[in-house]
Amino acid sequence: MLNKKEKMKLDLTLQSHEIDIAAYADGLRKELNEAECLYDWIGNQLELTTWRTDNGLWKAELLITYGGPTVTIALDSRYTFGTLRHSWGVPKEIEFEHSGLTDAICEIRGLG
């Protein structure tokens, strides 16, 4: 059980790590739209992992940052949008769509 001082410190820490996920997504879309080459932008991120099924479906996860905060974009061929996850303090996620990013990942990894 936390005492009042410890609880206050935890509350302040969580508040300082809160993020406006919609604003973050808008900023990321702007960065992608202004990138000279999406292939280079993707190559500069920490990791791109893809999975493919025998029937041609695929999933991809792009790791942008980790540790503090961890930011990923997860894409799934069954949907027209992906999921942007931002995890620092309290995990948050939002639907994220950027067709150029999806197209570039598909081309890089030879996905349907």
Number of compact structural domains in the chain = 1
pLDDT(13) > 50: no
Expressed as residue numbers, the domain containing 29 is 19-109
Judge whether 8 lies within some domain: no
Judge whether 25 lies within some domain: yes
Judge whether 5 lies within some domain: no
Residue pLDDT, tens place only, 31-87: 999 999 999 999 999 999 999 999 989 999 999 988 778 899 999 999 989 999 988
Q: Are 99 and 64 in contact (CB under 8 A)?
A: no
CA torsion sign for 50, 88, 85, 22 is: negative
pLDDT(5) > 80: no
Residue pLDDT, tens place only, 44-59: 999 999 999 999 899 9
Q: How would you list the strands of the sheet with 58-65, edge to edge?
A: 47-52, 58-65, 70-76, 82-87, 92-96
